[in-house]
Chain A
Amino acid sequence: MAVATPHSIERSSVIISVFSTTPGIGKTITAINLAAGLAHEGYKVCLADLDLQFGDVLNYLKLTSTNTVAGAQRALLDHPDKFHVRDFLIDYKHEGLTFSILPAPLYVYDAYQTDVQLVTDIICELNFYDYVILDLNSMFSALNLAMLDISTVINYIGVIDFLPALKNYKIGYDTLIRFEYEESKIRLVENRADSQKLIRGEDVEKLLGEPFYHRLPNDYPSVNKSINSGQPLMFAAPDSKLTKSFTELVGLYSNHNTQVAPELAAETSGGGFFSKVKGWFGF
């Protein structure tokens, strides 16, 4: 298949994938607020909605666009020499803050037609951004594995309020480890960490054998305000505890935090699990 770029690209951007193994636990909210927070720190940021069938990034920001991953894929296939990923992005702008968005396809059928290699190439074309945030869906699909492979860090998020959710979080983590992603690449983030629940965070850490990298508090009203106004939390609920917690998480991921910076800036190999096993997985 004709592709515009070789797979082993020289990358300057930090790719953060927002991943979970349970749906509906705050991936999109996290992705949007990471993008907004990093943009607020002055970085060039692009947020890619890779929940291709049922992505919510545009919904949550009250934006519409006919620019999508599907369009980008078609263009890359038809005219690889003239392909510019910029033509398929839209900008979120508010009070001087800007970040770009690569929207999910408008139709399920288009989403169904996407090709893992082409989407990977499109994401790699975004390398002129400082940060690329990937909003994934909750499965170990061929696409998600390819994205986890090219990610600098995996923001692996969970809400541990329900036994099946705990099981899926644990299974997902064990699977990531079995897939030989370096433990330092996987950042365990607990969402709604302080809500009243039957399962304690400390017990989860014992079960996983790893501490949480960050805990986001339960703040349903602020999330509601954010979604209803179509604005990231820093605008919709500037003083909320959740907004502050996201600022902390952004600090952990941005180069402003010297402790984390060297590790994040390091080039990661493209040779993760997906690359190794795609042969016998039949992708």
Chain B
Amino acid sequence: MAYRVIVIEDDQNTLDDIVAMLRRSPDFTVSATYKSAHAAINPAAMFHPDLFLANIEDEETLNMMPDFVDKFPGAYMLGTMSQWDPLAAQKAMEGGATGCILKPFTAKEILEYLQLYSARGQRKPPKLISFFSPKGRAGRTTLAAILALLIAEKTGERVALIDADLQFGDLPIFFDLEPNRTVVDATQDIKLLTPVSFAPYFYPIKDGVSLLSSPDRPEYAELVAPESLTEVVMMAGNIFRYVLVDLPSGFNPVTLNICRISNVVFVTTMINSGFEVKHAKKAMEMFEQQDDGRRKVYTVFTRVNPFTEENRQKIADQLSYPVDVMIPNEYKMISVANSGRLAKGLPMDTLLMKTISDMADKIIASGR
């Protein structure tokens, strides 16, 4: 059965083009067209629409997205725009839109977008989660990878892993991949990309989890403009319900930019000499200085030994911040990561996996 479509478009020529295109396609019937969202919201109900194509370059239409979602919960809402605007796309998703599509588009493209956005998961804004560590060697990458696998398994929604550790990213080796396209290519191309053309930059690792790889030469990192990487991460949020970003160590323009747009930042630390707690404290203070109330920063300690509440308190006292997550050691993890079997060989019946699984549950339950 064909989709019953309502088109909201204030530009007459664009409207004519869209209508003509839809009429040529057996997959769509045009139920009605409106110049503005206000004109559409009440009468549209008469047509039992399945799909809205609404020009969100018009501010009022963008603002009314939640009203349409309320009134037509069963219909797909595609925001249309002639240039990809990450902030407008984000606002549309926050308003409950299915996603956005770039004008001009064909009937086939509408179907592609609908398929991509349906696979993404719940029609809610993405959860952007970044993994920070002060100096590295903190278990940050391993944690991000395991969480990605667990969240996808538990929710059935799509999860992206983005390796933003541009010089020495380890995610491709953890999953035994040799990708042709990397995050560097994505940042170079981002101005020309749409969600549909961006999706193939990701490599499927396992059901629902895809990786955007780091480059294989450290100097390529210099080709990445931090602002472009921010756009890459934001666009990933249109295709994936969860976007997990593995950051380079320490503070630099990349980490600060990505943390700024993240919903959650995990400051990951592994205690070796003991001074790592000091570094974590310095990092937390830096995050506090940068705080604008828009993200949660949590502390995570890996390979905690002894794995006791007393030790948690001891670390917290030194840190002057709570220890939000504490993860025990598991020697099996080393050989799993060492052999590129992270997608298949996780030591499921261990305390380590149980702890990270609890962490995944909290991420899934948190926010929207």
Contacts and interface: CB of A to CB of B under 8 A. Distances in A.
Given A24-B135, A162-B334, A175-B217, A54 B168 contact: no
Given A138-B168, A198-B338, A163 B134 contact: no
Which residue of B274, B279, B285 has the most chain A CB atoms within 10 A of its CB atom?
B279
8 contacts: A24-B272, A54-B279, A60-B273, A108-B282, A163-B173, A163-B339, A171-B216, A227-B274
Interface in B300-349: 334, 337-340
Contact of B134 (A22, A53, A172): A53
Interface of B: 134-137, 167-168, 170, 173-174, 216-219, 221-222, 248-252, 272-275, 278-279, 282-283, 285-286, 289, 334, 337-340
Interface of A: 21-25, 51, 53-54, 56, 59-60, 107-109, 111-112, 137-141, 162-164, 167-168, 171-172, 175, 178-179, 198, 227, 281-282
B216 A23 contact: no
A59 B134 CA distance: 15
Contact of B168 (A22, A53, A178): A22
Given A60-B273, A108-B282, A112-B251, A168 B168 contact: yes
A25 B216 CA distance: 22
A59 B285 contact: no
A250 to B, nearest CB: 22
Contacts of A137: 135, 249-250
A104 B128 CA distance: 33
A23 B137 contact: yes
Contact of B250 (A53, A281, A282): A53
Contact of A171 (B217, B250, B273, B338): B217
Given A23-B249, A140-B167, A108 B218 contact: no
A59 B282 CA distance: 14
A77 B22 CA distance: 65
A175 B218 contact: yes
Given A53-B251, A108-B251, A163-B338, A138 B286 contact: no
Contacts of A108: 251, 282-283, 285-286
Given A23-B135, A109-B286, A167-B173, A140 B219 contact: yes
Contacts of B340: 163
